[in-house]
Structure 1
Amino acid sequence: MPNSPDHVDNPRLVSARQKDIYEDILEDRRHSSDFVWSFRTREEPKYKYNKPRTPDEIRKHVMHSDRVKYAVEQVCSESGLPIEEVWKQAEEVMQEMSHNLSMGAIRGFAMFLVKVLKSLFKRVYVNTEGIQKVREMLLEYPVLLMPSHRSYFDFLLMSYVFYSYDLPLPVIAAAMDFMGMKFFGWLLRNSGAFYIRRSFGDDMLYWAVFTEYVQSQLVNGDHPIEFYVEGTRSRTSKSYAPKFGMLSASLEPYFKAHIPDIMVIPISISYDKILEETLYAYEILGVPKPKESTSGLFKARNLLSEDFGNVHVHFGEPLSIRKYTDGKVDRSVHSLAPRYIASLSDDENKLIQNLGYKVLLLHQEHMVISPWSLMAAVLVQNKDGIKIKQLVKEVEWIKRQATNLGAYIDWPGNESADAVIRSTLALHKNIAEVDNEDVVHLLEIQHPTRGSQDELMQAAAQHLIITLYKNQLMHIFVRVSMVTLSINSCTEETMSMNELYSKYEFLEHLLNRDFIFMPGCTKQDFENAMLTLTHNCGVVVEDDLLQVKKSTNKYTTFFSQMFEPFLLGYWVSLNHSYLDIG
């Protein structure tokens, strides 16, 4: 069991409690009473302009707001329905959506959750400097929390971290899927979850209730508001393109001068081992996602006997919306219209979109890369097996390249590479094993609830799980790789820098649904990639001409090979589409 004494204290399996900028917040919980911890007195920082309100008072404020009254009148006018019926619909939306945050429920949930976390994870690391900045921000500003989203556990971890550090519990935008779970749906609602539909379409009434509910809590600073800018969990371990509905609703009070500033806090959550790894692989293969249910949750309790390694939660530098938009928007354009009617300007919408991409790039910047991600990049190209000695050699080389490009690798400094590789293989023993001849082999992957699948499905699932972990590296190499793809595919002796940039620009456009690129930064990204390649990777440029033969080496080949499957995927899809049309 992960919480057994041997498991906790073995230095070959876990990093120290204090590590660089991180501290483990599970360590104390392994040595003292969970009951005392859960029911202790907590002193939370409060927003300086906050007027305390109960969940019922928040709901009443929303239903009496000018925005909702206006929406009701418009719906009545357009639909011809009696006003009483429309008000009833608005009340139903409010009741369905709103949280019922209760300290009693939270304390009980905290005691249950900490036991689950101690069973699942060796350590939960948090950067303490980031927590201190969050504490300071909560006193002075309304706060938006925007974590990365790789697992269902993300929002539970966020609430646990805030409870551990005596910070006010966030209210969390949650999908309707959870609401129907018996007891658990109620527990989440009472722990701060508010349930929203995945799509509102042109439902004016729903938009009005939702927008007022979010903005009312933000403006009054009732609680920090947490939502995922990607909109849903990433099944591939790559960042999804941002969604802007929740972000627009949250920032509107600033643009309309209702509040002087909002603080956005990007949070990166990195897992050594993702709980849903097998489910994700089969979902991508078309096997339907299991419906969220309390019975399904209890069936998954066998996970508590497994080891999922470490989690790192990194709180990034707070982003001031006032500073981010300074000189770029004119808030006075909204001064003549009621706040609940006027829409945002084109400049404001553009800034919101840029902010969404910026938050995702900040997520990536502070992701912690596990040794398994490095190993996956090697194993995916050695399906028939690879000697441990060779695996160690290749992983150490990739580690150097990733570190040179700014990645934070969670690599124990007091351990040999061989020990790190072997302990990592032990953690992922469901995916790979070492035979008697010290050769690492990949294992067949069965669906966790449907049992055996045919050989083709199992082989595909195996590939996808390894790729899922390799993908955790891809954002580090994507820009240099888009340059090296053009170098390695060139049949001429030289290539002009203009031509190289043109090909880079094309690849960015092609891959912008797979990777995150900041709009308007293509030229800067290209120049930074070229600096890295010319200074560290042997790429040669003379008289504004890239020397192709001199520049082709192990670095350019490795970077290119990591991304060739994406281009091959597009090529196969295009050929398939062409044949269908023909």
Structure 2
Amino acid sequence: MLDPSSVSAEHDSDAVSEDHYLNVLDEEEVKGFWEQAGVRGGKDDPCFDIDWDAAGKEVVTHPKVKELCEAAAARGGPRAAVATRQKAAALAGELAASVEMRFAHFTSALARFGFQRLYSGLIFEREQLLSLARLSVRAREEGRSIVYLPSHKSHIDYIVLQFSLWNLGLGAPAIAAGENLNLPVVGGLLRRNGAFYIRRSFSGPDSELYTAVVSAYIEALLRRGANVKFFTEGGRSRSGKLLQPKIGLLGMVLDPVLNGIVENAYIVPVSIYYDGVMETESYVRELLGSKKRKESLIGVLGQGKHLLAMRRSRFGNIHVRFGPGFSARSYIDNHIAVQRAVPNRANFNPVNTIADKQLLLKALAYHVLEEINRVSSVTPTALVGTVLLCTLGRGIGRRSLINKVDWLRGEVVRSGGHMSRFYDFPGELTAEVVDSALTVLGKLVQTFTGLVEPVYCIAPGMHFELSYYRNMCVHVFIHQAIVTAVLHRAVQMHRQDQEQVERADVMSDVRFLSRLLKREFVFSGSATASGSPPKPASGEQWGQDIPLALMRNFESALELLVAEGVVDVCETGSKGGAISLKQYHRAQEMGGYDHWNKHFTFLCSMIWPLIESYWLVLASLLYIFRNGIVIIGEKPAVSHMQSFAKTLVHMGHVQYNEAASEEPLRKALQTYSELGIVRWARRTGNQGEPVVALELEPEYRGAEDDKFRRLVQLADEVASYRRCWREQEGPEEYPDYIARLAFGVSRL
């Protein structure tokens, strides 16, 4: 169990002096690190010892590529084999990266200028760097690679880590970058700083050959001990939370180790986060339904004139944290041993069985993301943004804002989270932290002066953008937030009828919400031994077969809630104890559950907007299927649902602006598809063309006399977790024409 007092003590002991941190933008600090760690950066960086050209040239001789050439020869003769070999060489040329001295110097100077204009510092924890330096030396001695797996929140993530590792002398890595970044001039510059460009999709007529070439190239880098970096999430997070992992490139890294071609490699999770992210405005446009622009550096480079004109330190600090590096070989061996100890898995073999390999990759990917969450720190902008979004009134006074930020900082530490450097020292006053955060947040916060005290509120239309910063700390509280949302449902359903709720019943509801929101968060223990959960036949079954990891998360969250005074745990009860609702009943006498406990209300507000989104999708599905409307394709379906959601938000039927965000609506639809509620079926359009239409799964269609009953039950179940759900209207009470305008009446 988590001991809150030990967490606080640990973090207080961390905050001894500025020596705990290192600013890579300070050249004197970097030189001091060289002496302390026994490394040399710049021109002495070990990345210059790698034969980058040879790695690209030998791709055509790789066994997988040769096998495809032989297959081509069998089909089309010697000329086909030559053509395939030439194609492979051309694809390898598209990939080939290098780290060249003069380009590295030039790019480093350019990056330093940009960082110093935009940010106050590029901050690392010194002990983490020293540990990484020891791992780097060890890897070089063994001829092994370090695979960096960072979070991805901004385009400049590419430059942040490359610039820092090169200057610190830790071996600048080869970077897997999307081909959309291969722009004129810029693309060549990045390529000579380690970037190798890969397609966003491996599908196409030459997909098999292209996959073999990319795998061969990564293997060639690993055999030479070159460090490699790519983003486990794939694309940038538009919401501030970690995205679900992509395992394609991870599989290509692990393959040589699994097959014994490369003896080992070291994996290092990396958290990169910002006080202020430059792209949040464009993220919000996309989440509100605007067409997603092609990812490129143009957006960043286009701000060059502003870079020269703007005042320095507009965006605060950049923070980089490293999780402990670990051996890929040891992880594989341990995972195989654990799996083979499970009944009916004695033959677990990720080398020869695709399903077993997928399970291994998924477990590794989630482990990396959990480590990223664990080492990430909460920034002042996240604290202020969270407090503003959780404020029930129109605005908040200065004194109250400062007090709540200070309280929230304590809750982050008590819940096992970390605070960023800016708020780690006793000498830093909370008022100064708040002022700094407000400066970075800028136009997102509206300030009213000339009053008894300054009053702050969310600027009109800025809820979405501010929610990005709140989402940067939601991982700290997510397990507690789910438990409190369940308790909120319990007290709203039972009111004064009972004094306690069975612990096992709460656990079952926690299971339900956790599975519902599994695409939204990286839960501890996300990759279970049993793999992906089976599709349920109905919502009632979602609470069964509770995994051990979820039970541990529940117990830890409950202990924290008891320590905070949100609830009490009783020994009585028929199913292993109960949770007391006495605090709620006392709060009722004071005016309702808002008076229960400030921490309770705060935690619920972290998850209520998402529950609203998932309910909105079910309300949309009910209207679509009841009226026989045919929706073609996921993108149009989400677009219609978002129009419906945004209208209800502005009409006041839905409380949270963020509930109409494109991302949770899309994830909700995907979740309901995965859980066997809806499906995408191939049909014939009006003109005889093949289309993919949204359909209700047969189990949810029901007979004529109870048609859609189970879908209605599921919608009611999700609605019961909404805030004050019994006082809100249901979809049947909304004006019918709103849904009709949102979804139309198209039929095949």
Q: TM-score range by the shorter chain?
A: 0.7 to 0.9
Cα displacement string for residues 79-110 of structure 1 (whole angstroms, at most 9, x for unaligned residues): 88822222222122111222133222111111
Q: Secondary structure at the match of 1:489?
A: helix
Cα displacement string for residues 243-267 of structure 1 (whole angstroms, at most 9, x for unaligned residues): 1111111011111122332210011
Q: CA RMSD in A?
A: 2.8
Shift of 1:295: 5.9
C-alpha distance in structure 2 between counterparts of 1:525 and 1:44, whole Å: 43
2:258 partner letter: F
Aligned to 1:550: 583
C-alpha distance in structure 2 between counterparts of 1:176 and 1:185, whole Å: 9
Q: Which moved more, 1:506-515 or 1:408-417?
A: 408-417
CA contact (8 A) 2:41 2:169 kept: no
2:188 partner letter: W
C-alpha distance in structure 2 between counterparts of 1:329 and 1:295, whole Å: 45
**1:94 counterpart (92, 95, 98):** 92
Q: Secondary structure at the match of 2:43?
A: coil
> Normalising to structure 2: TM-score of the pair?
0.67
Query: Structure 2 matches for 1:482-561, cutoff 5 A?
Result: 482-490=482-490, 491-492=493-494, 493=498, 494-517=500-523, 518-520=526-528, 521-543=549-571, 544-550=577-583, 553-561=597-605
Q: Secondary structure at the match of 1:314?
A: strand
Aligned to 1:326: 333
CA contact (8 A) 2:486 2:506 kept: yes
Aligned to 1:63: 60
CA contact (8 A) 2:389 2:458 kept: no
**2:413 counterpart (398, 403, 407):** 403
Shift of 1:137: 2.3
Structure 2 CA distance for partners of 1:539 and 1:75, relative to 1, 3 Å: farther
Aligned to 2:372: 363
Aligned to 1:12: none
2:443 partner letter: N
C-alpha distance in structure 2 between counterparts of 1:558 and 1:322, whole Å: 43
Structure 2 CA distance for partners of 1:537 and 1:118, relative to 1, 3 Å: same
**1:125 counterpart (119, 123, 126):** 123
Structure 2 CA distance for partners of 1:535 and 1:77, relative to 1, 3 Å: farther
CA contact (8 A) 2:42 2:168 kept: no
1:533 partner letter: L
Structure 1 vs Structure 2: percent identity of aligned residues?
26
Structure 2 CA distance for partners of 1:300 and 1:530, relative to 1, 3 Å: same
**1:432 counterpart (445, 454, 457):** 445
Cα displacement string for residues 1-27 of structure 1 (whole angstroms, at most 9, x for unaligned residues): xxxxxxxxxxxxxxx996363211212
CA contact (8 A) 2:250 2:361 kept: yes
CA contact (8 A) 2:175 2:230 kept: yes
**2:284 counterpart (281, 286, 292):** 281
Structure 2 CA distance for partners of 1:499 and 1:251, relative to 1, 3 Å: same
Structure 2 CA distance for partners of 1:323 and 1:56, relative to 1, 3 Å: closer
CA contact (8 A) 1:537 1:556 kept: no
C-alpha distance in structure 1 between counterparts of 2:253 and 2:17, whole Å: 36
1:408 partner letter: H
**1:415 counterpart (408, 428, 453):** 428
C-alpha distance in structure 2 between counterparts of 1:56 and 1:189, whole Å: 12
Structure 2 CA distance for partners of 1:432 and 1:20, relative to 1, 3 Å: farther
Query: Structure 2 matches for 1:94-493, cutoff 5 A?
Result: 94-138=92-136, 139=140, 140=142, 141-179=144-182, 181-201=183-203, 203-221=207-225, 223-291=226-294, 296-304=299-307, 305-306=310-311, 307-329=314-336, 343=352, 345-382=354-391, 384-410=394-420, 411=423, 412-436=425-449, 437=451, 438-444=454-460, 459=461, 462-490=462-490, 491-492=493-494, 493=498
C-alpha distance in structure 2 between counterparts of 1:158 and 1:248, whole Å: 22
C-alpha distance in structure 2 between counterparts of 1:78 and 1:344, whole Å: 28
Q: Which has the higher contact order (CA 8 A, sep 6+)?
A: 1
CA contact (8 A) 2:351 2:357 kept: no
How many equivalent pairs are there? 531
Aligned to 2:26: 27
- Listed as ranges, the gaps of 5+ residues in structure 2 are 1-14, 32-39, 341-349, 529-548, 572-576, 585-595, 627-748
CA contact (8 A) 2:147 2:229 kept: yes
CA contact (8 A) 1:127 1:314 kept: yes
Structure 2 CA distance for partners of 1:258 and 1:293, relative to 1, 3 Å: closer
CA contact (8 A) 1:255 1:348 kept: no
CA contact (8 A) 1:75 1:204 kept: no
Shift of 1:428: 2.0
Shift of 1:557: 2.4
Q: Secondary structure at the match of 2:320?
A: strand
> Normalising to structure 1: TM-score of the pair?
0.85
Structure 2 CA distance for partners of 1:499 and 1:420, relative to 1, 3 Å: same
Structure 2 CA distance for partners of 1:79 and 1:286, relative to 1, 3 Å: farther
CA contact (8 A) 2:41 2:170 kept: no
Cα displacement string for residues 108-147 of structure 1 (whole angstroms, at most 9, x for unaligned residues): 1111111111111101111222222323323233211011
